[in-house]
Amino acid sequence: MKWDEFFVTGDPLIYGADVSIALTLIGVIFVLTYFKKWKWLWTEWLTTVDHKKLGIMYVMAAVMMLFRGGVDALLMRAQLTVPDAGFLDSTHYNEIFTTHGTIMIIFMAMPFLIGLMNVVIPLQIGARDVAYPFLNAVSFWTFFMGAMLFNISFVIGGSPSAGWTSYVPLAGLELSPSVGQNYYLLGLQIAGIGTLLTGINFLVTILKMRAPGMKLMQMPIFTWSSLITSVIIVFAFPVLTVALALMTFDRLFGSHFFTLMDGGMPMLWANLFWIWGHPEVYIVILPAFGMFSEIISTFARKTLFGYKAMVYSMVVIAGLSFLVWVHHFFTMGAGGAVNSFFSITTMLIAVPTGVKIFNWLFTLYKGRIKFTTAMLWSLAFIPNFVIGGVTGVMLAMAAADYQYHNTYFLVAHFHYVLISGTVYACFAGLHFWYPKMFNHRLNEKLGKWTFWIFVAGFNLCFFPMYFLGLAGMPRRVYTYGAADGWMSLNVLATMGGVLMGIGFLILVYNIYFSFRYSPRETTGDPWDGRTLEWATAAPVPFYNFAHVPEVKGHDAYWIAKKEGRAKEKKPYKPIHMPSNSGVPVIMSTFFFISGFGMVFSWHWMSIAGLIGVLATMVIRSFDYDKGFYVSVEEIEKHEQTTE
Amino acid sequence: MKRIKSMLAFVMFMSVFVLGGCSNLTVLDPKGPVAEQQANLILFSIGLMLFIVVVVFVLFTLILVKYRERKSGPDYEPPDIEGSTFLEIIWTVIPIIILIALAIPTVKTIYALEEPPEATAHKEPVVIHATSVDWKWVFSYPEEDIETVNYIHIPEDRPILFKLASADSMGSFWIPSLGGQEYTMAGMMTELYLQADEPGEYRGRNSNFTGEGFADQVFTVTAETEEDYAEWVEEAQEAPELTQEKYNELMLKGHADEMTFSSTHLEWVNHAMDAEYATKVRNGLPLDEDNSHGSHEDHEDSEDEDHDSHKGHGDHDDHSKSEDKDTHSESH
């Protein structure tokens, strides 16, 4: 292989990216060396098993990925603004929409939510960490290495270009011979390990680690949503793992699971993909629902209306999420009975979702609504998500779907639910729990600027797309002709996209601005919160709670505040905490090396990487470190400084 | 309040723009009974959905205006309301009723679209095999013995039965003016009834992403009167015959101009039964020795499985499978 086959060449955009990646790397290495921060980086971050720090790293990585996916989106919008534009060629455009979709779902939405879950869940249930802190670090680092492996395809070897759904035969070796598709398979496979472990970890954490007195039906609603999400992850992700492995065999070792030749079954891929893929969209929406519930309840100063109905509706949604996958390909000709069945199961999801919408509205009813930035995002979610939801019901009607399928109508629908659901929730949750992560709030004024610009831009970008779909514009076309008559709506959409980009930049500036100028927290309860995370001190000590809190009902901290138990003094006891470990980051690096070798079919490299993975597992197995105890003196010292 | 007003103004401004920009909503301007059924279903559902949207938006606005802190003051302490079984039953039952109202016409239409349109069901449908190949469309009229590339002619007011297949990647056959789409797959056959009610030129395309040349994988549909159609058929039957050599050129990736032939490729391959043909041509692998009978045998072999595998036929010819294995792996 020659060097110009290894590196992507010939495109000024890519050369620009090469230079900026190199400069950033050199800059980071220089800063770390100059300020002698290498040891700090290793002991405080790379080897940490603290759920709060892992959560912060998840969120930071997700914001980076949001930037990458957002740039992809803006490039697409630039190309589609006018007919017959020559800004991007077909191949380049195809790569960009493929990476946009994959990155936004797998490497942005999920890690953002999982990051916030990491920060919040142990605090909400009154625990000192998750059930398996070491495993949690493995989760983060495999996600991170998977994401990096996927991202370097951009400059080394070429990006995948068969869509984030990677439908075969198109994504097979015959029709996509470049290594790009291998990056997709291995990047997702490695990151998928992390997600599956997260599912197991949070399932056990929530079931076993709750503070004394917290019954299942007294858990905060975000904890409930995370529990249900974990169950979905545990059932759905193995399907993706197997499907990715089979396609990897097809592409690397000449098997014929999904090929056209020798009796392969391409349609099996579509089925497997969506048996994972549809639950996946609920994996990224249920935690969002949970966050909105917490935030709406907090800033309406009311307990959640219909708590039980909220819980049951999420359980029903989770169950139905496994029964609707065929609606992604009603047009495959499966026949009337199959399409009718999946139409109806899909429509049924609207019932529990509708219940939730009305319960949120009635949580606001008779409340005292305070329009903080976090609350604004949560409120804007309701009308926008309803638009996305009702068009979802329209798409569920198979006979009509034959006309919507593969068009911008569909694109508009899923952006309406994923952006106003998941992305709004990420922003709302970020503003809401920011004080728990960084011990200061994000600036409200800048936050509101981001909010208004982004929400206006979002609606301007995606609402016209419903009409583009009805006007017959298919998704994934890199250009269209003037005679198609799609230009005016596309111009609107691009304007909206630019506004969203500006909103994002203000958010990034806000992070910097607040870091410099925001007053530090002193109370640990900036919003007059209702759940246990607000009972922790500011900054949150690494052991979270000096005393394990006692729970007497849901909205535990609110009740404690009302009863005057919030600041009780009791004698401390030593606290058992897990030790840091360098194994997760090293193991994941070996995964990365092995994956990179497989991408290029350099088997010596992939085997070496796998041996490394195995070796780190053996080292971990013979590790008898049982953690350490925080002494009473140390706790006292901590509690005095943080009071 | 100011913000809500400015937001409303913005929404109104936007909707004017949007509605101005889309005088040509093809899907809602049907030119045949299939598209018409779908357009009716879509309009009906938009009506019901608008009702829901209005209810939620009105409630939402009223609650936000009435219970914002600036109005109630910082001393107001909201009551804790745990929930209301009565209200929650109401907003469970009403959506269920709405969904039933949607589900009944949906299921009816799903089944109706499996059959030729009711009004013309007594007429013999025109059968056209549509095959997607990267990145072109090949159409075969077996009864008329005509093959065209990237365009078709159809008679008005007569059901057209499209038998869909793909030579390689999965495509989707879509003529928005005449009706919804259906996938084309290699080794499978899907069927789609469409019909044009009036003469005219309609655009058809592949709507399912197939890679580099996807955006231009389009074709034109000319619907005309029975007489004009018969005339076109006669004319087309005078075109040169399609040779297998010529056809194999079409199997290579790339675009093609409009073409007409007076024989069809079904004589030697039916992609609905042979998923491997295009791949073999591209890699220079030997095609089945006795081509004219190959597809026929496949058909018999797979007949037992017809019942459970869609409307299509898998390729289950074990002989060709084992023969190809060695040569195929060499090619990589």
Is A4 near chain B, with CB under 8 Å? no
Parallel, antiparallel, or unpaired for β B151-155 and B218-224? parallel
Question: Are B92 and A355 an interchain contact pair (Cβ–Cβ within 8 Å)?
Answer: yes
Q: How far is A319 from chain B (nearest CA, A)?
A: 17
Is a pLDDT exceeding 80 seen at residue A130?
Answer: yes
Rounded-to-integer distance, Cα B86 and Cα B109, Å: 35
Please check whether residue A164 is in contact with residue A95, taking contact to mean a CB–CB distance below 8 angstroms: no
> Which residues of chain A does B186 touch, with a Cβ-Cβ cutoff of 8 Å?
169, 260, 266
B288 DSSP 8-state letter: P
Rounded-to-integer distance, Cα A71 and Cα A73, Å: 5
Question: Are B311 and A335 an interchain contact pair (Cβ–Cβ within 8 Å)?
Answer: yes
Amino acid in position A401:
D
Q: Which two tokens stand for residue A8?
A: 């992507």
Alpha carbon of B79 to those of A359, B7, B82: distances in Å?
16, 30, 10
What does the buried/exposed string (b/e) look like for A488-524 if buried means 16 or more CB atoms within 10 Å of the residue's CB? bbbbbbbebbbbbbebbebbeebbeebeeebeebeeb
SS3 A19: helix
Please check whether residue A181 is in contact with residue A168, taking contact to mean a CB–CB distance below 8 angstroms: no
Is B165 near chain A, with CB under 8 Å? no
HEC secondary structure over B64-125: HHHHEHHHHCCCCCCCCCCCCHHHHHHHHHHHHHHHHHHHHHHHHHHHHCCCCCHHHCCCCC
- Per-residue pLDDT, B208: 97
Q: How far is A81 from chain B (nearest CA, A)?
A: 14
For A388, which residue in chain B has the nearest alpha carbon?
B53
Which of B28, B211, B324 faces A470 most closely, judged by CB atoms? B28
Nearest one of A565, A556, A542 to A635, comparing CA atoms: A542
Q: Which two tokens stand for residue A557?
A: 């901290």
pLDDT, mean of residues A576-584: 94
Cis peptide before B135 (omega within 30 of 0): yes
User: What Rg, from alpha-carbon coordinates, does chain B have?
Assistant: 27
- Per-residue pLDDT, A381: 97
- Per-residue pLDDT, B19: 55
A32 DSSP 8-state letter: H
Question: Are A329 and B11 an interchain contact pair (Cβ–Cβ within 8 Å)?
Answer: no
Kindly state which CATH superfamily the domain B125-292 is placed in.
Answer: Cupredoxins -  blue copper proteins (2.60.40.420)
Interface confidence, given as ipTM, is 0.92
Is a pLDDT exceeding 50 seen at residue B294?
Answer: no
Amino acid in position A488:
S
Residue identified by tokens 């793992």 is A241
Alpha carbon of B81 to those of A527, B85, B160: distances in Å?
21, 12, 61
Task: Pinpoint the alpha helices (H) of B22-73.
Answer: 33-67, 69-72
Residue B53 φ then ψ, to 5°: -60, -45
Window B:171-210, CB contacts with A under 8 Å: 172, 174, 176, 179-183, 185-188, 190-192, 203, 205, 207-210
Rounded-to-integer distance, Cα B262 and Cα B236, Å: 6
Window B:235-274, CB contacts with A under 8 Å: none
> Which residues of chain A does B211 touch, with a Cβ-Cβ cutoff of 8 Å?
94, 161-162, 170, 175-176
Could you state, in order of their start, the residue ranges of all structural domains in chain B? 2-67+81-112, 125-292
Kind plus residue range of the DSSP H or E element containing B133: strand B126-133
Nearest one of B160, B213, B151, B155 to B182, comparing CA atoms: B160
pLDDT, mean of residues B256-281: 95
- Per-residue pLDDT, A522: 87
Question: In a mutagenesis test of the A interface, which of B102, B192, B310 is the best target, namely the one with the most A β-carbons within 10 Å?
Answer: B102
Burial (Cβ within 10 Å: 0-12, 13-18, ≥19) of residue A24: exposed
Rounded-to-integer distance, Cα A405 and Cα A412, Å: 12
Angle between helices A133-152 and A180-208 (to 10 degrees): 160
Confidence of residue A303 (pLDDT cuts 50, 70, 90): very high
For A262, which residue in chain B has the nearest alpha carbon?
B321
Q: Which residues are bridge partners to B190 per DSSP? A: B164
Kindly report the pTM of this predicted structure.
0.91
Is B67 near chain A, with CB under 8 Å? yes
- pLDDT one-digit tens code per residue, A472-522: 999 999 999 999 999 999 999 999 999 999 999 999 999 999 999 999 998
Q: Around Cβ B332, how many Cβ atoms within 10 Å?
A: 10
Please check whether residue B114 is in contact with residue A335, taking contact to mean a CB–CB distance below 8 angstroms: yes
Is A231 near chain B, with CB under 8 Å? no
Which of A369, A400, A452 faces B68 most closely, judged by CB atoms? A369
| Torsion angle defined by CA atoms of residues B78, A422, B87 and B94, in that order, rounded to the nearest 10 degrees | 160
Question: Are A470 and B26 an interchain contact pair (Cβ–Cβ within 8 Å)?
Answer: yes
Is a pLDDT exceeding 50 seen at residue B223?
Answer: yes
Is A632 near chain B, with CB under 8 Å? no
**Average of per-residue pLDDT values in chain B:** 85
Is A218 near chain B, with CB under 8 Å? no
Nearest one of B212, B202, B146, B138 to B174, comparing CA atoms: B202
- Per-residue pLDDT, B299: 43
Q: How far is A627 from chain B (nearest CA, A)?
A: 43
Rounded-to-integer distance, Cα A574 and Cα A632, Å: 5
Q: How far is A382 from chain B (nearest CA, A)?
A: 8
Which of B18, B87, B310 faces A467 most closely, judged by CB atoms? B18
- Per-residue pLDDT, B247: 96
Rounded-to-integer distance, Cα A414 and Cα A392, Å: 8
Residue A271 φ then ψ, to 5°: -65, -50
Window A:510-529, CB contacts with B under 8 Å: none
Span of A9-13, A411-415, B293-297 with lowest mean pLDDT? B293-297
Amino acid in position B272:
A
Rounded-to-integer distance, Cα B57 and Cα B49, Å: 12
Is B54 near chain A, with CB under 8 Å? no
Is A159 near chain B, with CB under 8 Å? no
Q: How far is B215 from chain A (nearest CA, A)?
A: 5
Window A:438-457, CB contacts with B under 8 Å: 452, 456
Name the more confident of A118 and A537: A118
Nearest one of A476, A569, A570, A500 to A165, comparing CA atoms: A476
Is A482 near chain B, with CB under 8 Å? no
Please check whether residue A177 is in contact with residue B212, taking contact to mean a CB–CB distance below 8 angstroms: no
- pLDDT one-digit tens code per residue, B144-186: 999 999 999 999 999 999 999 999 999 999 999 999 999 999 9
Kind plus residue range of the DSSP H or E element containing A201: helix A180-208
For A160, which residue in chain B has the nearest alpha carbon?
B211
Is B302 near chain A, with CB under 8 Å? no
- Per-residue pLDDT, A105: 96
Is a pLDDT exceeding 50 seen at residue B316?
Answer: no
